[in-house]
Amino acid sequence: MAKHSVGWAPLQKRWLWALLLMLSVSTVIAFLIRVAFDPCDRHFQLSQNKPVRLASPVQHKSNPVPVLIASPIVVKPSPLSFMKSKLVLLVSHELSLSGGPLLLMELAFLLRSVGAEVFWITIQKQSETDEVIYSLEHKMLNRGVQVLSAKGQEAIEVSLKADLVVLNTAVAGKWLDAVLKENVPRVLSKVLWWIHEMRGHYFKLDYVKHLPLVAGAMIDSHVTTEYWKNRTRERLGIKMPETYVVHLGNSKELMEVAENSVAKRVLREHVRESLGVQNEDILFAIINSVSRGKGQDLFLRSFCESLQLIKEKKLQVPSLHAVIVGSDMTAQTKFESELRNFVTVKKIQDRVHFVNKTLTVAPYLAAIDVLVQNSQARGECFGRITIEAMAFQLPVLGTAAGGTTEIVVNGTTGLLHPVGKEGVTPLAKNIVKLATQVERRLTMGKRGYERVKSRFLEHHMAERIAVVLKDVLRKSKSRSHS
């Protein structure tokens, strides 16, 4: 059927509707399309104008895209099956749609799927609306996760009975003394501390003084681990316990969209149309909450410089566009205004597009040609958006810092540039390289996809976590017998 025939348009709309429905359902309900936002990034929340829906994906029987539902079923025994019947208490610093809590929820569901008994405690109610918290708790209860109050006798009893207690983020350490009080020493030997942050203010004795005595710490990248080891020693004079590096993995839901060429094409067309970007234009994106630490300002300078380079050298390339996904005019107003002013002053309004923050990143990953990961200073703890982009066969232009250096292979799956102002011109040149060398760009994307398939999938993450949990269980058993 010709694309412009009358029959196509409504069909396309229906496809799109089904796709978006599927995306929103799996995002908010399964939590697993997640994502885009690093666990480091604790302030990235669902935008207010996106309703949280508790719909069932099976209610739309007339779904015209059966291929989306027919996911290949591969039944493999879970590497976590030894956790069957174990009692696990998960302690979350907050309940929100930001990276840290969502990751802990993924672990909760992985453990439930192998028959572990899972309890969940949220320490502090944050800025989330009641509606979001209600939906998240509801989802957990549906999956058999038992939600407890952070304080009180029941919390103490469950922690004493538990085989394993997982504290999520450094801040969760406050809960130990506040609630367990004199029972703290009886619980420490079975605590696994999952840390996803790399900022100075987490190195407070208040939060982490019990760190040396817990069974283990689990951190998202080698760089972050080194930083924690150094900082705790130098700043606080304490020693990290045995520390395990666990790289994250992409959810099955994200991989399903990434590997569905029909879905990708429809999403690509739709998003490009909504941005006013032609199919043949080359689209670069940063997908991160807008803040100086994520480097959108420096990226725009590079982008501008790359346009000048192309003009000066009279290179024949399609139009370059940039999209910044993660705007929030209500939060980072000054920085946002700075970005928008820059775009106006440089007269590149028709090339630069701002999109509000969203948890549904798949449509943007389907629509773009290159992901830019421009996090500054120490970079990302891990940077989950990086592996999500690679799943969509996108090359990554990233700063040579943090977790990015453990994900992107420089010259093979992307190109790295220095952080700070020194990185502006190298990034501009890399943008020009990927714009002019089509073959190289596509090859890098494929290599990135292969890298994700070989080490950054959910089951890889589950395998890595399984190794840690086995070790921690073994150690805490031997400690309690001695």
Ligand X SMILES: *[C@@H]1O[C@H](CO)[C@@H](O)[C@H](O)[C@H]1NC(C)=O
Judged by the rule CB under 6 A, the positions of this chain that interact with ligand X are: 49, 230, 234, 328-330, 356, 400, 410-411, 416
By C-beta, is 396 or 416 nearer to ligand X? Answer: 416
Task: Give me 464's structure tokens.
Answer: 């890595």
Q: Smallest distance from the beta carbon of 413 to ligand X, in angstroms?
A: 11
Q: Smallest distance from the beta carbon of 164 to ligand X, in angstroms?
A: 31
Distances (CA, A) of 384 to 57, 128, 162: 25, 22, 30
By C-beta, is 178 or 329 nearer to ligand X? Answer: 329
- Please report, to the nearest 10 degrees, the dihedral formed by the alpha carbons of residues 180, 184, 188, 191 taken in order: 10
Taking the alpha carbons of 375, 376, 382, 387 in that order, is the dihedral positive or negative?
positive
Q: Smallest distance from the beta carbon of 416 to ligand X, in angstroms?
A: 4
By C-beta, is 411 or 420 nearer to ligand X? Answer: 411
By C-beta, is 31 or 203 nearer to ligand X? Answer: 203
Q: Are 362 and 23 in contact (CB under 8 A)?
A: yes
- Please report, to the nearest 10 degrees, the dihedral formed by the alpha carbons of residues 133, 138, 140, 144 taken in order: 160
By C-beta, is 87 or 400 nearer to ligand X? Answer: 400
Q: Smallest distance from the beta carbon of 338 to ligand X, in angstroms?
A: 16
Cα–Cα distance measured from residue 48 to residue 379, given in angstroms and rounded to the nearest whole number? 28
Q: Smallest distance from the beta carbon of 103 to ligand X, in angstroms?
A: 25
SS3 of 170, please?
helix
Q: Smallest distance from the beta carbon of 340 to ligand X, in angstroms?
A: 12
Q: Which residues partner with 89 through β-bridges? A: 119, 165
Residue 367: name the closest of 376, 377, 358 by CA: 358
Residues in Cβ contact with 73 at an 8 Å cutoff, skipping those fewer than 6 apart: none
By C-beta, is 47 or 183 nearer to ligand X? Answer: 47
CA 193 remoteness from chain centre: 19
Q: Smallest distance from the beta carbon of 131 to ligand X, in angstroms?
A: 18
Task: Give me 445's structure tokens.
Answer: 């994307």
Residue 402 has phi, psi (to 5 degrees) of 55, -150
Q: Smallest distance from the beta carbon of 403 to ligand X, in angstroms?
A: 14
Residue 333 has phi, psi (to 5 degrees) of -55, -45
By C-beta, is 49 or 62 nearer to ligand X? Answer: 49
By C-beta, is 49 or 56 nearer to ligand X? Answer: 49
Q: Where are the alpha helices (DSSP H) in 320-391?
A: 333-345, 362-367, 384-391
